[in-house]
């Protein structure tokens, strides 16, 4: 069957994807006798269309899936999307702002429903975009992080952690975003270098008559004078001889008049400022730790809205932070207590979404005691049960895990999975219950309790906090497989020992999954947490390999951003040049963990390659070759009249198959594509096709030359199929083959 003169991706790609869907080959069979190969798709955020970074993971994962399918594995690529909690609410609030609205115009229930509809719209868009990119997913198993059966599993995990005393509600200093009014984990905070000021303030020493004097004082340096209203001490290093005689004495807090002690603590940096620092435990993480050591109480002078509280005093209460700073500096200057000001460059913490300076606040939040989980997650990596590609990320992972802190998993936002935590509403202190329950009145229940276990009388109220989105997505590898297929897939006999009282055929067959492929920048956000929670909930590693790709950059190696105007729309590229050209451009020249360099010129280069493939196939088919079997290796060894050109192309093909297979097994996708590219363009097109034109004129050579042409073409498109699936499938459908499969995607991988 001859090919049209010009390859038109628009006409081919949609038709080919429908063929794959109709064939049933995308659907996995957990009862198969084949060895399993499973990738759980990192769920794209359901708050917008796919971006070029998403196209990278789609391409890399589809390469693995298609390759392993052709290698005879039972393959499952399970797709899904993420509700992306805080991030999605931020995106939606921007949409509201365009309409002159904010989240405060709606009740929590109304806001939740609005965001739900917003995400459902993008969920469908993302599904269509994944298909346009050629993702050979099992759509019958598609999941959403807010699916009911997913939430049930997330709840069970939380309950088990709570019962094992690995979850606690604690008063800690947390990262608070005043703009979004929610707590953030350490990973959700960025650090920004700024040119600020360092103010030196005189803290008068307390005299016997308690009169404030400006001649007898200790000099304290600070970058945040507004928080001094909450000072509870002045701290110096015990090795600092300048202040040795002052330790134990007291000062009068400027502008407030409150007596506070001078304490010695080895955590004070003698080189900072004057060597004497203010201790404000309610608004600084280190100060909080120092206060705990010295049993000092915290005074919160900044509230959750970024305004000064009543504890700041009547002169400052209600002022915004910078307004208060200005007034305090004026008041200090007027009282002769501001000694000097220096320029000072330092780092501040900001919200990773809006850039608002983070306010450290003491707040009661829900935490996971992470070190017991981290211990096992460190061990499996050190023992090689999980391998990192590139390998150097193993050291980075281990370093972070060995210095990990408890994980704040509660968020003060509407959009997300509501925590299954309930609060007793009975304020009566004469409760016949455990002291611990009476003290905090909080308990965990997977269902709405009919009777309050604390007081036995009231109707408990569920707290408004939602889970950190990484808590639910950190369970993605096993929640998806346990939930896939619903209740019908649950089986009684459970080979795997999990914390759950049921299992599924998918989980038993495909877990642990084979590879987790994702961007290196969420190694700690996501990968580390999947390993910890996977081990805790299932007793097994969630995956055997972690493949990390880099960030996408333009031809000048600049990071893509809307502000720079260098963002590439992947679907726009597909519309212009076809999905195969984009996929090839994303892989070509990009090693594991390296940044992906993409440009229109690079895509055009790959589009030219698809044209080359098409024209070569047209040449072969236009000569009407006889039907052949898919594997003619033995026939070639028996042929007596092979020419030098025949032998060279056959040997080159065998060498390419061997080398490409080795590269794919080692996750060296860029090397594999480049080798097939070179073989097809130079060995096949430039050399053998040109040689064959002369051989086809010789009646004695014509038949076997046509067979060799068809054989080389067939094996070339097999090698290329994982990378550029649409054009290779279209050509395969037109090849005259014996014992032809319904689709190229299930053909056997070539043997050298």
Please count the other Cβ atoms lying within 10 Å of the Cβ belonging to residue 471: 26
Assigned token pair, 648: 């060279």
- Rounded to whole angstroms, the Cα distance separating 620 from 626 reads 11
DSSP 689: I
Cβ burial, residue 64 (10 Å; 0-12/13-18/19+): buried
Alpha helix (H) residue ranges in 283-424: 285-294, 321-334, 371-382, 393-402
Inter-residue contact 383 to 376 (CB < 8 Å): no
Cβ burial, residue 245 (10 Å; 0-12/13-18/19+): exposed
DSSP 643: -
- Rounded to whole angstroms, the Cα distance separating 3 from 12 reads 12
Whole-number Cα distances in Å, 321 to 309, 317, 341: 10, 10, 19
**Dihedral angle sign, alpha carbons of residues 501, 506, 508, 514:** negative
Q: Are strands 259-264 and 250-252 parallel, antiparallel or unpaired?
A: antiparallel
Average pLDDT, the chain: 91
Give the pLDDT band of residue 626 (cuts 50, 70, 90). confident
The predicted structure's pLDDT at residue 435: 47
The predicted structure's pLDDT at residue 501: 86
pLDDT digits (tens, 9 = 90+) for 639-665: 778 999 999 999 999 999 999 999 999
Inter-residue contact 609 to 681 (CB < 8 Å): yes
Q: Are strands 233-236 and 259-264 parallel, antiparallel or unpaired?
A: parallel
The helix (run of H) or strand (run of E) holding residue 652 is helix 644-665
Which of these ranges, 60-64, 335-339, 552-556, has the smallest mean pLDDT? 552-556
The predicted structure's pLDDT at residue 328: 96
276 bridge partner residues: 236
Which residues belong to CATH 1.10.730.10 in the chain? 599-746
Distance of CA 90 to the CA centre of its chain: 17
The hierarchical CATH code for the domain 599-746 is 1.10.730.10
Give the pLDDT band of residue 207 (cuts 50, 70, 90). confident
User: Which residue shows structure tokens 């024209």?
Assistant: 615
Alpha helix (H) residue ranges in 335-466: 371-382, 393-402, 435-440
- Rounded to whole angstroms, the Cα distance separating 318 from 82 reads 39
Give the pLDDT band of residue 491 (cuts 50, 70, 90). low
Inter-residue contact 203 to 388 (CB < 8 Å): no
For residue 635, pLDDT over 80 is answered with no
Please count the other Cβ atoms lying within 10 Å of the Cβ belonging to residue 56: 24
pLDDT digits (tens, 9 = 90+) for 234-292: 999 999 999 989 999 999 999 999 999 999 999 999 999 999 999 999 999 999 999 99
- Rounded to whole angstroms, the Cα distance separating 430 from 437 reads 12
Which residues belong to CATH 3.90.740.10 in the chain? 182-359
Q: Any idea which architecture 182-359 has in CATH?
A: Alpha-Beta Complex (3.90)
Is 493 strand, coil or helix? coil
- Rounded to whole angstroms, the Cα distance separating 138 from 158 reads 29
% of the chain at pLDDT higher than 70 = 93
- Rounded to whole angstroms, the Cα distance separating 278 from 219 reads 10
443 bridge partner residues: 422
- Rounded to whole angstroms, the Cα distance separating 396 from 399 reads 5
Give the pLDDT band of residue 188 (cuts 50, 70, 90). confident
The predicted structure's pLDDT at residue 495: 63
């Amino acid at each position: 069957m001859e090919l049209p003169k010009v390859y038109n991706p628009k006409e081919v790609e949609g038709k080919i994807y429908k063929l794959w869907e109709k064939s049933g080959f995308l659907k996995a069979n957990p009862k198969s006798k084949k060895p399993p190969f499973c990738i759980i798709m990192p769920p794209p955020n359901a708050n917008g269309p796919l971006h070029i970074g998403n196209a990278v993971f789609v391409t890399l994962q589809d390469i693995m899936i298609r390759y392993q399918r052709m290698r005879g594995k039972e393959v499952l690529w399970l797709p899904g999307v993420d509700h992306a909690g805080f991030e999605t609410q931020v995106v939606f609030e921007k949409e509201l702002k365009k309409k002159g609205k904010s989240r405060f115009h709606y009740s929590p229930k109304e806001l939740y429903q609005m965001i739900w509809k917003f995400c459902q719209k993008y969920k469908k868009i993302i599904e269509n975009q994944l298909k346009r990119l050629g993702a050979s997913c099992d759509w019958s198993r598609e999941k959403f992080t807010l699916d009911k059966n997913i939430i049930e599993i997330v709840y069970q995990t939380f309950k088990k952690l709570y019962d094992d005393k690995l979850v606690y509600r604690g008063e800690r200093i947390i990262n608070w975003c005043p703009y979004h009014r929610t707590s953030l984990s350490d990973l959700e905070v960025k650090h920004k270098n700024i040119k600020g000021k360092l103010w030196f303030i005189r803290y008068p020493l307390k005299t016997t008559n308690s009169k404030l004097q400006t001649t007898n004082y200790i000099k304290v340096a600070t970058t945040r004078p507004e928080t001094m209203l909450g000072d509870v001490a002045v701290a110096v290093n015990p090795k600092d001889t300048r202040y040795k005689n002052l330790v134990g004495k007291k000062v009068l807090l400027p502008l407030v008049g409150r007596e506070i002690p001078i304490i010695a603590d080895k955590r004070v940096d003698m080189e900072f400022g004057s060597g004497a620092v203010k201790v404000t435990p309610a608004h600084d993480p280190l100060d909080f730790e120092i206060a705990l050591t010295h049993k000092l109480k915290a005074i919160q002078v900044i509230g959750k809205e970024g305004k000064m509280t009543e504890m700041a005093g009547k002169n400052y209460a209600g002022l915004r932070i910078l307004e208060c700073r200005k007034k305090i500096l004026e008041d200090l200057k007027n009282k002769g207590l501001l000694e000097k000001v220096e320029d000072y460059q330092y780092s501040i913490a900001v919200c990773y979404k809006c850039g608002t300076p983070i306010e450290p606040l003491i707040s009661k939040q829900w935490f996971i005691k992470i070190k017991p989980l981290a211990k096992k997650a460190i061990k499996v990596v050190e023992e090689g049960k999980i391998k990192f590609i590139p390998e150097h990320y193993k050291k980075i992972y281990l370093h972070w895990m060995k210095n990990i802190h408890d994980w704040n998993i509660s968020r003060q936002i509407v959009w997300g999975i509501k925590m299954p935590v309930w609060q007793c509403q009975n304020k009566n202190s004469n409760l016949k219950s455990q002291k611990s329950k009476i003290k905090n009145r909080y308990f965990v229940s997977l269902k709405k309790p009919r009777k309050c276990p604390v007081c036995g009388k009231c109707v408990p109220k569920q707290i408004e906090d939602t889970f950190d989105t990484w808590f639910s997505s950190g369970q993605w590898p096993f929640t998806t497989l346990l939930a896939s297929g619903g209740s019908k897939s649950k089986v009684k006999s459970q080979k795997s020992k999990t914390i759950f009282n049921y299992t599924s055929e998918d989980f038993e067959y495909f877990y642990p999954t084979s590879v987790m492929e994702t961007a290196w920048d969420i190694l700690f956000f996501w990968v580390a947490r999947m390993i910890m929670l996977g081990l805790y909930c299932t007793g097994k590693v969630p995956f055997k390999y972690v493949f990390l790709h880099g960030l996408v950059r333009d031809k000048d190696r600049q990071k893509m951003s809307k502000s720079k105007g260098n963002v590439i729309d992947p679907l726009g590229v597909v519309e212009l040049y076809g999905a195969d050209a984009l996929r090839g451009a994303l892989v070509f020249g990009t090693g594991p963990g390296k940044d992906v360099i993409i440009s229109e010129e690079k895509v055009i280069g790959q589009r030219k390659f698809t044209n080359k493939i098409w024209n070569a196939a047209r040449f072969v088919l236009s000569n009407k070759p006889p039907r052949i079997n898919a594997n003619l290796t033995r026939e070639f060894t028996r042929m007596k009249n092979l020419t030098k050109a025949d032998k060279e192309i056959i040997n080159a093909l065998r060498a390419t198959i061997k080398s490409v297979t080795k590269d794919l097994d080692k996750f060296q996708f860029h090397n594999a594509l480049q080798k097939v590219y070179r073989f097809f363009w130079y060995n096949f097109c430039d050399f053998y096709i040109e040689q064959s034109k002369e051989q086809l004129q010789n009646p004695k050579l014509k038949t076997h030359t046509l067979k060799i042409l068809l054989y080389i073409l067939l094996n070339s498109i097999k090698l290329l199929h994982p990378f550029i699936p649409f054009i290779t499938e279209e050509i395969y459908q037109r090849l005259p083959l014996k014992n032809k499969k319904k689709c190229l995607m299930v053909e056997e991988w070539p043997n050298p």
